[in-house]
Amino acid sequence: MNNRDVAAAFDEIADLLEFQNANPFRVRAYRNAARRINDLPESLTTVAADPNRDLTEIEGIGKDLAQKIAEFLDTGSIAMLEQLRDEIPGGVLAMVRIPGLGPKKAAALHKELGISSLDELRAACEANRVAELKGFGKKTQDKILAGIDLAARAQERMYWAHADEIVQELLAHMRKLKGIRQMEVAGSYRRGRETIGDIDLLVDAEDANAAMDQLGRFEELATVIGRGDTKMSVRLGRGLQIDLRVVPSKSFGAALQYFTGSKDHNVILRAMAKDRGLLVNEYGVFRVAAGDSPATKKQSTKSTENSAKTKAENSDVAATGESPVATAGEYIAGRTEEEVYAAVGLPWFPPEIREARQEFAWAEAGKLPTLIEVTDLVGDLHMHTTASDGQATLRAMAVAAIERGLKYIAITDHSPRVSMANGLNPQRLRKQWAEIDRLNGEFDDFTILKGIECDILEKGGMDLPDDVLAEADWVVASVHYGQQQSREQITERILGALENPYVSIIAHPTGRLISRREPYAVDLDQVFAAAAKHHKFMEMNANPARLDLDDVAAAAAKQLGIPIVISSDAHSTGGLDVLRYGILQARRAGLTAKDVANTRSWTAIKKMLPK
């Protein structure tokens, strides 16, 4: 069990307690503990196993919470949580995930209308029953109805960052088996999609049964869905499905390419292969004889049209090296992905750009981009400290950044409008900036920038006066309130911020929270045009719940020459580590190190700012 599992359990306890109208302080204790645990830089398992340490040493963790953590680490469950689940209908938590609903309103819907599932809630909204309840109304009902699909999707998929933790545990488990020659995870995970529905695991092993037996011993396993000669499907306790395929060495590269996808990328690849008299499928690349039988041609067409996510029914046969498709022609490649692409006259494509957008045009022009890497980043320009809603001091954030090899950071605590985050007024902000000046005198080859995350007010304009913003090194402008305003209103607010001479960048430009809150209505075309005109930056927020800008919008910003900044928006020292998720999103957008501003020195970035 990892820290995120424990934090998720505590968050669920908090939701269920709030649903029961429990003491708010008790609810808050679990929520705060979940946040602390999520941000903890070391494993709870390590702390619990150390006889010289105690879980209560962790800030915010008292004796009762420590006992529940130990119980979860030992047994994989918490008796209190199981009891709460028994007392409250299972569909209620799905309702809580609807944007703007929350546990209290979900409880009201359950009590007044007997609703305990998303389907029942949809029916009640469509029958106008929710609007009639006290405290709801037509507007709230419409918002709930619009959010039901979002909540349903959230049940089916998980963030890439969360799936990655499972994948790393799975790979470590499988590597304990001798006889595995090659092993890769394919599918949307390998392409770096924001959310993951399932995991495709490909293995080249001496003994297929031994590989499947090893998967069957995975600690997280809850149910075996099915097992054949070379394929096994299981479901984990957290709901994620894993499909294991054991493939021969001669087909491993072809299978990896095929099951990585995307569907649209593979359709184009197979069409190009067909023009060369070739057949590309999950077993390899084959030269097709001109006189192929109708049956073989039918199979070839089917293979061309299949999605990379299609679970081929004859995978078990393929692993033996024999299949109707595999024997349709002369085998010419398939051991590696490079072989597969080279056979069709193409370079190897990084998995993140295999979306049938621009990758084939880039390849034809000989301009396949060298995508950005995590090691290219040298600074982080958005983070928070205990001065507002962060959990670490200014000094601690600086030290953590230095430990991670960064050369500069911007401290960007909130402005006064975000009162719930203890936003800084001009006096407190200037006091923080004076502290930054003092700290900069202590560090060699590292710079702390005087910054602020300044709200763009609902009525327009900035939350701090220009004379204050003029003293900052870096001003991050954000929309936190009024996100339900019209497209025109929000766009005008952001355009006004971009015209402000002291604003450097627009943070999380669409305000979305993946699977939790849709983007607010904004005309990004106008925003990007203004950013290009005024020489402003756009943020790609690396928090896995945001990843905002998304890959498509970031690619559009790149076309206009707008510098992208990949920022952590860290609220703790551990939060700095999310930068790698932003890098993954940037790679999907086709960004190179040149496209991302904070691959440059702070001196170079200053020259890019408006004069």
CATH number at residue 46: 1.10.150.110
Residue 251 inside a domain? The answer is: no
Are 401 and 482 found together in one domain?
yes
Are 166 and 267 found together in one domain?
no
Cα 7 from chain centroid (whole Å): 17
Residue 257 inside a domain? The answer is: no
- pLDDT at site 154: 59
Tokens describing residue 572? 């703790």
In this structure, of 33-42, 46-55, 165-174, 584-593, the range with the lowest mean pLDDT score is 33-42
Please state, in angstroms and rounded to a whole number, the distance separating the CA atoms of residues 520 and 179: 51
For residue 313, the domain's CATH number is 3.30.210.10
Last residue of a domain, one of 127, 156, 185: 156
State the Cα angle at 179 between 175 and 183, rounded to 5°: 50
pLDDT in tens, 225-259: 999 999 999 988 777 899 999 999 999 999 999 99
Are 503 and 602 found together in one domain?
yes
- pLDDT at site 272: 96
Question: At a CB cut-off of 8 Å and minimum separation 6, what does 113 contact?
Answer: 124, 129, 130, 133
Q: What domain range is 281 assigned to?
A: 263-365
Last residue of a domain, one of 135, 156, 177: 156
CA distances from 201 to 138, 168, 192, 262, 350 (A): 47, 12, 15, 16, 18
pLDDT in tens, 258-291: 999 999 999 999 999 999 999 999 999 999 876 5
Residue 599 inside a domain? The answer is: yes
CA distances from 35 to 40, 41, 99, 158, 400 (A): 9, 12, 20, 18, 19
Please state, in angstroms and rounded to a whole number, the distance separating the CA atoms of residues 545 and 542: 8
Please state, in angstroms and rounded to a whole number, the distance separating the CA atoms of residues 306 and 325: 13
Residue 386 inside a domain? The answer is: yes
Are 11 and 77 found together in one domain?
yes
C-beta neighbour count of 60 within 10 angstroms? 14
pLDDT in tens, 423-434: 999 999 999 999
Are 468 and 486 found together in one domain?
yes
Are 548 and 426 found together in one domain?
yes
- pLDDT at site 298: 42
Please state, in angstroms and rounded to a whole number, the distance separating the CA atoms of residues 45 and 461: 48
- pLDDT at site 322: 37
Strands 537-541 and 195-196: unpaired
Are 378 and 312 found together in one domain?
no
Are 151 and 163 found together in one domain?
no
Question: Could you give the percent of the chain with pLDDT greater than 70?
Answer: 92
Are 188 and 272 found together in one domain?
no
pLDDT category of residue 292 using cuts at 50, 70 and 90: low
C-beta neighbour count of 338 within 10 angstroms? 14
In this structure, of 87-101, 327-341, 391-405, the range with the lowest mean pLDDT score is 87-101
Residue 388 inside a domain? The answer is: yes
Are 37 and 86 found together in one domain?
yes
Residue 143 inside a domain? The answer is: yes
User: Around 408, how many Cα atoms within 13 Å sit in the side-chain half-sphere?
Assistant: 19
pLDDT category of residue 191 using cuts at 50, 70 and 90: very high
pLDDT in tens, 416-455: 999 988 999 999 999 999 999 999 999 999 999 999 999 9
Are 514 and 531 found together in one domain?
yes
Query: Residue 126: is its pLDDT beyond 70?
Result: yes
- pLDDT at site 1: 59
- Highest mean predicted confidence (pLDDT) among 22-31, 139-148, 210-219: 210-219
Specify the number of domains making up the chain: 4
Question: How many separate helices (H) and strands (E) can be counted in the chain?
Answer: 26, 17
Last residue of a domain, one of 201, 217, 246: 246
Residue 255 inside a domain? The answer is: no
Outline where 229-358 has alpha helix (H).
Answer: 252-260, 263-275, 294-305, 315-318, 337-343
pLDDT in tens, 462-517: 999 999 999 999 999 999 999 989 999 999 999 999 999 999 999 999 999 988 78
Residue 200 inside a domain? The answer is: yes
Are 379 and 409 found together in one domain?
yes
For residue 164, the domain's CATH number is 3.30.460.10
